[in-house]
């Protein structure tokens, strides 16, 4: 404590969507002294780092934005249904400027660790600039998909060409013109990047370990009349998405797909397919997530679409997912993804049929005993999701305990926003909250509002310490697991299940509440209304 150079009411780590809103709320609503630390040289977080070709939001932009700035909701004009990364970054820059947020953000600064001081109830926060500051509250706004997963491919150091990970793409861009390019991975990121890279590259080889179910994004300009209608109804929209299951205007069909006639369900599937985006995933028959038989019917529709789009039957078969139920992995949105495999310059190397990646050589990738010569390799291999970015902060709670110790068998949290043994720490969209299973800005706003109210209540009542009790945390963990175990989600080797990183303990990372984000919001509000039930305040 004695060594702290500055004292803040709150330190916020990260200046993406969540950090910007948290700063705005604590500083301008509560009048607190806040410092935000950000590793990047400007705002944006996820949208600062993920600059790979084709990066764009997967939720409709009219709800992928801050809803607390009512005037901006009316003023801001998105250029298309799913804007590209530079446009989202421009939006966040605009918000930062409009609300004068940058004056409280220290850029180019990484938080290297923080310890909770049990005598003073303050967090001591350290940065890579050698600073040590004290803060009553520490709030992580580090994103859920920000800790890069770069698998330790044998021989990578020998590769004489260039290689990049999608989540750390050069800010100057990469010119693929005339190059032989390899893309490793076929998740939501690769599905966006592959069609873009294929347009430039002389040759593109896609290394697929697991085929995914992709549905059309149907990006494009939004009809100006629809934009007008939405702007006139923003209050209604905001209320609906806040109360909805996924923070989207999508609602399951409350009926079994098995009860629908063939004609009826085909017409529903066609409608979802034509609507594009997450409709096929989140506005489908509800038993799709619970019954394998129901799921097979939905999956079969997508398989037929793949076969009718991809001209070479062998490639089409490789692209047909096998071994996981539809919807149990994050839905990738496709803009010419399947069509891209009809280009003569594009080849698919599938681990199951052609053999997996054995090593990176000086001149390319060796897979299934065959060498594929490459000039550039793009790794779209994802993230150590949700727990990774928090563990990387080197936080020490009571008795110097670390998150790595506390979470050796998977995350343990209360509501995904607090952790027993880590008082005065709040984790925006942390593990075991709806987070990645929702439209992120909706969940971010809910957490920011709840944290702000909590800190305000503490200050009004003179409390300096709030901490989740171990029993409330255990009950929450049991609830999270009980709910998800009734679904097919646990059967997939997805990053939701922590299964993408070898050795990561298998655990479902987000919260799939019975009523989604709307029900979760109610639950959090009830807990606050009961004097922060499950927390100890001192």
Which residue, 67 or 189, has its beta carbon nearer to ligand NAP? 189
The CA-atom distances, in angstroms, between 462 and each of 23, 458, 469, 528, 538 are: 22, 6, 20, 16, 9
Which of 184, 288, 484, 524 contacts ligand NAP by CB under 6 A? Answer: 184
Within 10 angstroms of residue 220's Cβ, the number of other Cβ atoms is 11
Question: Which among 341, 350, 433, 454 has a CA at the least distance from the CA of 387?
Answer: 433
Non-local (6+) Cβ contacts of 148 within 8 A are: 165, 167, 168, 383, 384
Which residue, 113 or 355, has its beta carbon nearer to ligand NAP? 355
Which of 39, 140, 146, 381 contacts ligand NAP by CB under 6 A? Answer: 381
**Which range touches ligand NAP (CB under 6 A), out of 185-193, 227-235, 236-244, 474-482?**
185-193
Measured CA to CA, the distance from residue 68 to residue 47 in angstroms comes to 20
The CA-atom distances, in angstroms, between 463 and each of 119, 457, 522 are: 14, 8, 24
**At closest approach, how far in Å is the CB of 113 from ligand NAP?**
27
Which of 18, 39, 210, 452 contacts ligand NAP by CB under 6 A? Answer: 210
380 interacts with ligand NAP by CB under 6 A: yes
189 interacts with ligand NAP by CB under 6 A: yes
Q: Are 203 and 345 in contact (CB under 8 A)?
A: yes
124 interacts with ligand NAP by CB under 6 A: no
Q: Please identify which residue in the block is written with the tokens 């999270």.
A: 480
**Which range touches ligand NAP (CB under 6 A), out of 169-177, 187-195, 415-423, 459-467?**
187-195
Tokens of 263: 């004609």
289 interacts with ligand NAP by CB under 6 A: no
382 interacts with ligand NAP by CB under 6 A: yes
283 interacts with ligand NAP by CB under 6 A: no
**At closest approach, how far in Å is the CB of 330 from ligand NAP?**
3
Residues 298-337 that bind ligand NAP (CB under 6 A): 330
Q: Which is it for the CA torsion 60, 415, 512, 386, positive or negative?
A: positive
Measured CA to CA, the distance from residue 434 to residue 444 in angstroms comes to 10
**Which range touches ligand NAP (CB under 6 A), out of 55-63, 234-242, 261-269, 293-301?**
55-63
Which H/E stretch holds residue 466? strand 466-468
CA angle, 26 as apex, 23 and 14 as ends, to 5°? Answer: 25
Sketch the per residue contact string, 9 through 38, with ligand NAP: x for CB under 6 A, - otherwise. ------------------------------
**At closest approach, how far in Å is the CB of 329 from ligand NAP?**
7
| Number of amino acids touching ligand NAP (CB under 6 A) | 24
**At closest approach, how far in Å is the CB of 174 from ligand NAP?**
17
Tokens of 82: 């799913």
Tokens of 486: 């009734």
Which residue, 302 or 395, has its beta carbon nearer to ligand NAP? 302
Can you give 16-47 as a three-state secondary structure string?
A: CHHHHHHHHHHHHHCCCCEEEECCCCCCCCHH
**Strand residue runs (E) in 170-297:** 180-184, 203-208, 215-216
Which of 69, 120, 148, 151 contacts ligand NAP by CB under 6 A? Answer: 151
Please give the span between the terminal C-alpha atoms of the chain, in angstroms, as a whole number: 20
* Residues forming beta bridges with residue 163, ordered by sequence position: 377
421 interacts with ligand NAP by CB under 6 A: no
Q: Are 20 and 28 in contact (CB under 8 A)?
A: no
Which residue, 247 or 397, has its beta carbon nearer to ligand NAP? 247
Strands 215-216 and 466-468: unpaired
**Which range touches ligand NAP (CB under 6 A), out of 56-64, 126-134, 278-286, 449-457?**
56-64
Which of 92, 142, 357, 437 contacts ligand NAP by CB under 6 A? Answer: 357
Tokens of 106: 């220290």
Tokens of 501: 């990183």
User: CA-CA-CA-CA torsion for 44, 49, 51, 52, nearest 10 degrees?
Assistant: -150
**Which range touches ligand NAP (CB under 6 A), out of 52-60, 114-122, 312-320, 521-529?**
52-60
Which residue, 55 or 451, has its beta carbon nearer to ligand NAP? 55
Which residue, 153 or 176, has its beta carbon nearer to ligand NAP? 153
194 interacts with ligand NAP by CB under 6 A: no
Strands 111-117 and 122-127: antiparallel
**At closest approach, how far in Å is the CB of 219 from ligand NAP?**
11
Residues 57-76 that bind ligand NAP (CB under 6 A): 57-58
Measured CA to CA, the distance from residue 435 to residue 390 in angstroms comes to 14
Residue nearest to ligand NAP according to CB distances in the complex: 187
**At closest approach, how far in Å is the CB of 94 from ligand NAP?**
19
Quick check: helix, strand or coil at residue 234? helix
Which of 190, 282, 428, 444 contacts ligand NAP by CB under 6 A? Answer: 190
Sketch the per residue contact string, 486 through 505, with ligand NAP: x for CB under 6 A, - otherwise. ---------x----x-----
Residues 436-455 that bind ligand NAP (CB under 6 A): 436
Measured CA to CA, the distance from residue 485 to residue 88 in angstroms comes to 36
**Which range touches ligand NAP (CB under 6 A), out of 126-134, 313-321, 381-389, 466-474?**
381-389
Query: Tell me, what DSSP letter sits at residue 502?
Result: T
Chain contacts with ligand NAP (rule: CB under 6 A): 56-58, 145, 151, 184-190, 192, 209-210, 330, 357, 380-383, 436, 495, 500
């Amino acid at each position: 404590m004695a060594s702290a150079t500055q004292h803040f009411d709150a330190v916020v780590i990260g200046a993406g969507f969540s950090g910007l809103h948290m700063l705005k709320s604590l500083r301008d609503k509560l009048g607190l002294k806040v410092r935000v630390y950000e590793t990047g040289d400007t705002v944006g977080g996820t949208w600062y780092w993920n600059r790979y070709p084709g990066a764009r939001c997967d939720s409709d932009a009219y709800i992928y934005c801050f809803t607390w700035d009512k005037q901006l909701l009316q003023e801001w004009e998105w250029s298309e249904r799913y804007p590209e990364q530079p446009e989202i970054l421009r939006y966040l820059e605009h918000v930062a400027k409009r609300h004068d947020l940058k004056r409280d953000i220290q850029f180019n600064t990484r938080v290297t660790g923080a310890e909770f001081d049990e005598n003073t109830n303050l967090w001591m926060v350290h940065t890579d600039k050698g600073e040590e500051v004290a803060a009553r509250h520490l709030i992580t706004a580090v994103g859920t998909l920000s800790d890069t997963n770069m698998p330790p491919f044998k021989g990578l150091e020998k590769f004489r060409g260039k290689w990049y990970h999608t989540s750390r793409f050069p800010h100057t861009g990469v010119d693929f013109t005339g190059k032989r390019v390899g893309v490793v991975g076929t998740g939501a990121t690769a599905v966006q990047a592959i069609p873009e890279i294929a347009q430039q590259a002389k040759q593109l080889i896609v290394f697929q370990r697991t085929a995914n179910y992709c549905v059309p994004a149907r990006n494009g300009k939004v009809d100006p009349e629809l934009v007008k209608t939405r702007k006139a109804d923003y209050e209604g929209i905001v209320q609906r998405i806040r109360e909805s299951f996924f923070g989207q205007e999508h609602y399951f069909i409350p009926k079994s797909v098995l009860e629908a006639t063939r004609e009826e369900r085909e017409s529903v599937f066609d409608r979802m397919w034509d609507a594009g985006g997450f409709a096929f995933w989140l506005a489908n028959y509800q038993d799709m997530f619970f019954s394998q038989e129901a799921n097979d019917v939905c999956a079969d529709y997508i398989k037929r679409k793949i076969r009718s789009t991809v001209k070479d039957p062998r490639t089409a078969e490789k692209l047909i997912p096998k071994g996981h139920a539809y919807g149990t992995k994050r839905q990738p949105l496709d803009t010419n993804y399947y069509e891209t495999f009809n280009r003569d310059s594009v080849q698919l190397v599938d681990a199951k049929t052609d053999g997996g990646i054995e090593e990176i050589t000086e001149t390319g990738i060796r897979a299934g005993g065959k060498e594929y010569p490459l000039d550039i390799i793009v790794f779209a291999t994802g993230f150590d999701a949700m727990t990774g970015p928090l563990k990387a902060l080197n936080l020490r709670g009571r008795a110097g305990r670390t998150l790595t110790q506390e979470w050796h068998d998977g995350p343990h949290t209360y509501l995904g926003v607090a952790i027993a043994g880590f008082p005065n720490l709040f984790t925006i969209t942390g593990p075991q909250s709806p987070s990645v299973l929702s439209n992120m800005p909706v969940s971010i706003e809910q957490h920011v509002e709840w944290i702000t109210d909590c800190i305000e209540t503490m200050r009004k009542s003179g409390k300096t310490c709030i901490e989740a009790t171990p029993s409330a945390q255990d009950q929450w963990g049991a609830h999270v697991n009980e709910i998800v175990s009734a679904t097919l989600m646990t059967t997939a080797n997805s990053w939701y299940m922590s299964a993408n990183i070898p050795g990561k303990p298998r655990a479902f990372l987000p919260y799939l509440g019975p009523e989604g984000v709307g029900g979760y919001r109610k639950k959090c509000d009830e807990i606050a209304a009961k004097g922060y039930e499950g927390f100890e305040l001192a």
